[in-house]
Amino acid sequence: EKADRIRAWQGPAQTSDGYRVQLLANVQDGAAARKAAAPGIAEGVGLFRTELAFLSAQVEPTLEEQTAVYLEVFEAFRGHKVVVRTLDAGSDKPLVFANMPNEENPSLGVRGMRIALDRPELMTHQLDAIKAAAEASDVEAWVMAPMMSTVSEAEWFAGLCRERGLFPGVMVEVPGVALRADKVLEHVEFFSIGTNDLSQYTMAADRMSPYLSTLTDPWQPAVLRLVQLTAEAGQRAGKPVGVCGEAAADPLLACVLTGLGVTSLSAAAPALAAVGAQLSAVTLDQCRRAAAAAVDAKGSIEAREEATAILGG
């Protein structure tokens, strides 16, 4: 019966009382984008993991090579929003041309946009290519940087984007950014919360470790509290706050995130129909009550149980 409901569900996503939530797809290249666009459920791309498109590159791809890759994704979602993430190299995503060699503790090392602080040309070349692809296509291109930690980093990144007429945002993966969300949002236009890394860094637990999956569970109330702080800052500033980590693919957690004030959910395309169907079965008030209960719960198991009882899942 649930499977029938998911199959029959049609977008756009909204709660039973008509509160809209944007559903977006996570993609890594043109082929994935075309596949994600085909069912007509994804309203755009919420996370284009550009580093995954260049895993086999031995040297930095040229402006033309990069532009072609970005253009393919933009063309698959013509007329829609596509959030491009700048290179998130390092740690679990090795890129030959961008990696820092031999770090003792790579997930706490020079990864994501931190690489660009040392090698700004990697960032500026990429932004030039994104701009060229955006100009060659009819798409609403947003650009965000991963692993941001400080207000100054956000200001620097936003400046580079604005010089090129690009719409800048920041990924919230480091707890320090969630705690200073208002100040960071003075410099950028949107947030996208990466719950995979936000969980890892909030709970000090390696996201790759099978032994620590209870700690890296995005139902951990401490993680949800940081999501709440971030979403509330977005509401105060009138700027959108999405979630693009695995949490957005969990239908009940998607309702909780909505109740916390998150305005869009981005996940692997096959997960979106179940999320949309679950949202259509609950009210915004249920989402808000489930969110309050989950943030106040004793632990991740209780958070899930209490939210599930309120959402009737």
List contacts with ligand PEP (CB under 6 A).
47, 49, 88, 173, 194-197, 244-245
Nearer to ligand PEP by Cβ, of 57 and 136: the residue is 57
Report the nearest approach of ligand PEP to the CB of residue 13 (Å).
19
Nearer to ligand PEP by Cβ, of 173 and 306: the residue is 173
Q: Scanning the structure block, which residue is given the tokens 């060659």?
A: 136
Asked if 164 contacts 131 with a C-beta cutoff of 8 angstroms, the reply is yes
Choose from Mg ion, ligand PEP, none: what does 195 bind? Cβ within 5-8 Å by kind. ligand PEP
The b/e string for 31-51 (b: 16+ C-beta within 10 A; e otherwise) is ebbeebbeeebbbbbbbbbbb
> Is residue 99 annotated as involved in ligand binding?
no
104 exposure class (CB count in 10 Å sphere: 0-12, 13-18, 19+): exposed
Nearer to Mg ion by Cβ, of 75 and 153: the residue is 153
Asked if 244 is an active-site residue, the reply is yes
Nearer to ligand PEP by Cβ, of 86 and 137: the residue is 86
Identity of the residue numbered 147: M
Taking the C-alpha atoms of residue 26 and residue 266, their distance in angstroms, rounded to an integer, is 6
Choose from Mg ion, ligand PEP, none: what does 241 bind? Cβ within 5-8 Å by kind. none
Radius of gyration of the CA atoms of the chain, in A: 19
Report the nearest approach of Mg ion to the CB of residue 12 (Å).
27
> Is residue 85 annotated as involved in ligand binding?
yes
Residues numbered 247-306 forming contacts with Mg ion, rule: CB under 5 A: none
The b/e string for 207-245 (b: 16+ C-beta within 10 A; e otherwise) is beeeebeebbbbbbbebbbbbbbbbebbeebeebbbbbb
Report the nearest approach of ligand PEP to the CB of residue 85 (Å).
8
Taking the C-alpha atoms of residue 282 and residue 186, their distance in angstroms, rounded to an integer, is 34
> Is residue 173 annotated as involved in ligand binding?
yes
Nearer to ligand PEP by Cβ, of 50 and 278: the residue is 50
Marked catalytic residue, from 161, 244, 255, 287: 244
Identity of the residue numbered 257: L
Taking the C-alpha atoms of residue 245 and residue 195, their distance in angstroms, rounded to an integer, is 5
Asked if 161 contacts 127 with a C-beta cutoff of 8 angstroms, the reply is yes
Candidates 242, 223, 224, 244; CA nearest to 234 is 242
The number of CA neighbours under 13 Å toward the Cβ of 119 is 15
Report the nearest approach of ligand PEP to the CB of residue 200 (Å).
8
> Is residue 196 annotated as involved in ligand binding?
yes
Choose from Mg ion, ligand PEP, none: what does 72 bind? Cβ within 5-8 Å by kind. none
Asked if 46 is part of the footprint of Mg ion (rule: CB under 5 A), the reply reads: no
Token code pair at residue 83: 């959030």
> Is residue 49 annotated as involved in ligand binding?
yes
Q: Kind and range of the H or E element at 149? A: none
For CA atoms 151, 155, 157, 161, give the dihedral sign: positive
Report the nearest approach of ligand PEP to the CB of residue 147 (Å).
9
Residues 187-216 vs Mg ion: string with x where CB under 5 A? -------x--x-------------------
Q: Scanning the structure block, which residue is given the tokens 């209870």?
A: 214
Nearer to Mg ion by Cβ, of 52 and 292: the residue is 52
Residues numbered 78-117 forming contacts with Mg ion, rule: CB under 5 A: none
> Is residue 289 annotated as involved in ligand binding?
no
Report the nearest approach of Mg ion to the CB of residue 147 (Å).
7
Residues of this chain that interact with Mg ion (CB under 5 A) are: 173, 194, 197
Catalytic residues: 244
Annotated binding site for phosphoenolpyruvate, which residues?
Answer: 49, 85, 196-197, 207
Annotated binding site for Mg(2+), which residues?
Answer: 173, 197
